[in-house]
Amino acid sequence: MEKDCEVETWQCPICTLINNYSFDVCEACGTTSPHVLAAMAGQESAEAKDEEDGERDRAPSTSTRPSRGSSIEEDYEAAAQLDPWAQAEDEWAVVEATQETKVKRK
């Protein structure tokens, strides 16, 4: 009977509270369950092994940085197109310029 209880619970290594096995963290202190940590370590080691295997299969690259085929102004314009705040500022500048020309006509 005692073995069944041990399987369904885990003891926190920090505060020694006996927690339900299904809890990922200790109810008292919030320490991550050793079972979760073991699973994460196993997953990380498997990912690291996959990365090592992938690096061996790939040809070495000369650079991870993109080539500078554009000017700084082109880079700025491309960034402005992606940035919603820059887009709003540009649109507002167009609105203000349009209003200024309408006021001058009157």
pLDDT, averaged across the chain: 75
Largest CA distance in the chain: 94
DSSP code of residue 32: B
Give the closest residue to 23 by CA, choosing from 42, 6, 8: 8
How confident is the model at residue 1, as a pLDDT? 42
Q: Is there a single domain that holds both residue 40 and residue 83?
A: no
Q: Does any domain span residue 67? A: no
Give just the sign of the alpha carbon dihedral 67, 68, 70, 72: positive
Q: Is there a single domain that holds both residue 49 and residue 76?
A: no
How confident is the model at residue 92, as a pLDDT? 86
Q: Is there a single domain that holds both residue 51 and residue 76?
A: no
Number of domains forming the structure of the chain:
2
| Residue 51, domain CATH | 2.30.30
Task: Enumerate the H helices of the chain as residue ranges.
Answer: 2-7, 34-57, 72-82, 84-105
pTM over 0.75: no
Q: Is there a single domain that holds both residue 37 and residue 80?
A: no
SS3 15: coil
Q: Is there a single domain that holds both residue 80 and residue 51?
A: no
Three state DSSP letters for 45-71:
HHHHHHHHHHHHHCCCCCCCCCCCCCC
- Of the CA atoms within 13 Å of residue 73, those in its CB half-sphere come to 0
26 or 86, greater pLDDT: 26
Q: Does any domain span residue 48? A: yes
Q: Does any domain span residue 12? A: yes
Q: Does any domain span residue 19? A: yes
- Domain enclosing residue 24, as ranges: 2-57
